[in-house]
Amino acid sequence: MAQVELKNVDKSFGKTKVIRDVHLFIEKGEFVVFVGPSGCGKSTFLRIVAGLEKPDDGQIIFDGHPETETGPERIMVFQEGALFPWLKVQDNVEFGLKMAGISKEERAKISHRYLDMMQLTKFADSFTYQLSTGMKQRVAIARALVMDPDVLLMDEPFAALDPQTRDLLLVEMQLIWEKTKKTILFVTHNVAEAAVLGTKVAIFSNRPSIIKKELSNNFPRPRTADDESLKKFQQDILLELRPEVKKNLE
C-alpha cells in the first residue's frame, strides 16, 4: 500500500490551470524530490498533499484513506520556516504537541530530544529574530519532527540559505531521513539539491503541469553536492528539465 497516492489531481487558480492530471504513487520511506520550472505548481502540489489547498478534481489517498483536510500526520516545512515570532524556540518546537494537549513535562522531554538533534539546545530560550536563516530552518524542521508525522512535506526549505549552510543541512537532512525513515516529499528548484537528497526525483512539466518523468537515484549515501558521481545524474535531470524551462520562458 502506498503512503501517499494522488489520482487525477487538477488545480486551477482563476483561469490559469496550474496542475493537471497528476498521478503519483509514493511508498513508505521514500525520499522524493520534485523539481520543475518556476511557477509550475510544485508548491501548489505540495500544499494539496498537505491539505492546505483543495484540488478541483481528483483524490489524495493517504495510507489507504482519501483525505481532504490538513492534519499533523503530514507536516509541512515552509520555505521561510513560518516560525511564530511571539514564541521562544522551544515553544515553537512544542507548538503542535501543545495543540494535541500533551503535558508540559512530556512536551519538554520530546522537544529536548529534537532540539539536541538539530543542535539548537543552546537557543531554546531565544526568540526567532535572534536566529540566522539556517538556524530558523533547523527550528522549523525540529518543529515538524516532534509531531512524528508519517510524511514530511518540505517546500524549498533551503532556498534562502547561503551555500555553506545549505551543504550542512543537506547532510543533516540525509541523516534525519536515514534515522527516522520518514516519507519525505521535498520541492526544490535546485538540481544539485535534488540529486543529493532524493531516492527518486520527479520532474514537473511547464504549466499546466504534469509529472513528466520520475528518475530513481540509488547512489550511496551520504552524498554531497560536489560528488563527481552525481554529476551524470544531475545531467539526466537537466536534460528533462531544460525544455520545460525553455517553454516557460516563451
- Residues near other proteins, by CB under 8 A: 50-52, 70-72, 74-76, 78, 80, 82, 84-87, 95-96, 98-100, 127-130, 143, 147
Question: Least Å distance between CB 140 and other proteins?
Answer: 9
- The C-alpha cell at 7 is 489520482
Grid coordinates representing 206?
511547464
The distance of closest approach from Cβ of residue 205 to other proteins in the complex, given in angstroms and rounded to an integer, is 26
CB 244 within 8 A of CB 212: yes
CA-CA distance, 141 to 133, in Å (whole number)? 12
User: What contacts 18, CB < 8 A, 6 or more positions away?
Assistant: 11, 12, 41, 44, 207, 208, 209
Based on CB atoms, which residue is closest to other proteins, 62 or 233?
62
Query: How do 31-35 and 183-187 pair as beta strands?
Result: parallel
Amino acid at 154: M
Contact 202, 214 (CB under 8 A): yes
- Which lies closer to other proteins via its Cβ, residue 98 or residue 247? 98
Smaller CB separation from other proteins, 100 or 239: 100
Between 62 and 95, whose beta carbon lies closer to other proteins?
A: 95
Closest CA to 102 of 147, 143, 145, 144: 147
Minimum CB–partner distance for residue 183 and other proteins (Å): 16
Least distance from other proteins to the Cβ atom of residue 51, Å: 8
Q: Which three cell numbers stand for residue 165?
A: 549552510
Q: How far is the CB of 241 from other proteins (least distance, A)?
A: 27
Rank residues 120 and 140 by Cβ distance to other proteins and give the closer one. Answer: 140
